[in-house]
Structure 1
């Protein structure tokens, strides 16, 4: 009986400290942050991101940006757009932490639009 109580208590403790699952918005935030800390963003802003540029380490990543311009001129990246996107990511992170997934996803859509097509 005593062993059963100890085991039950241990299971409750493990359940309380188990891993927290990431939301889809958390994953979007991480993806866009990597884009905003990329070499392409550095080319647009003229500034190296804090901590240095990062890469996605993806086997599908291009060695250099594609030639040409985006077909939609409104998707052209700008330094101001990258800065606005960073501010929106802070807002989205707060919404995500508060459990407001819909607002977070809406804010991330805005952040993506502001970031534009980074090289």
Structure 2
């Protein structure tokens, strides 16, 4: 009987304890895109926005300089307006992710990535 009560009490306390938040795949995407929007390439296109600093991606996939020539898909050319729209979409994705709407968050992030295009 004591063992059952002890286990029940342990389960109750564990359920009440705040566990650390788990990173979601959408949350990881948000972090990646936020770093891209704070990169030197985004600042080159849109200018340095208020309360943003240039971050280094430290990614082995990052290019050391912008690719030469124009993208084959004109809709992939980033503009300041498209980067601003992407920032608003990321804010929406953060809310969706915090509310547990994983699919909606992923859809919003796909839209944001399309808005950003190919940053230099």
Give TM-score, length-normalised by structure 1.
0.83
Asked if 1:30 is matched to 2:40, the reply is: no
Rounded Cα–Cα distance in structure 2 between residues aligned with 1:75 and 1:51: 23
1:69-108 CA distance string (max 9 Å, x none): 2111111000000000000001111111110111111111
Relative distance call for 1:93 and 1:29 in structure 2 (3 A) is: same
Number of residue pairs matched by the alignment:
117
Rounded Cα–Cα distance in structure 1 between residues aligned with 2:29 and 2:15: 29
Q: Alignment RMSD, CA only?
A: 2.4
**Alignment check: 8 A CA contact 1:42 1:49 kept:** no
Q: CA deviation at 1:14?
A: 8.6
Q: CA deviation at 1:13?
A: 3.7
Q: What 5-or-longer segments of structure 1 have no aligned partner?
A: none
**1:111 equivalent in structure 2:** 112
**2:44 equivalent in structure 1:** 43
Give TM-score, length-normalised by structure 2.
0.83
Q: CA deviation at 1:42?
A: 0.4
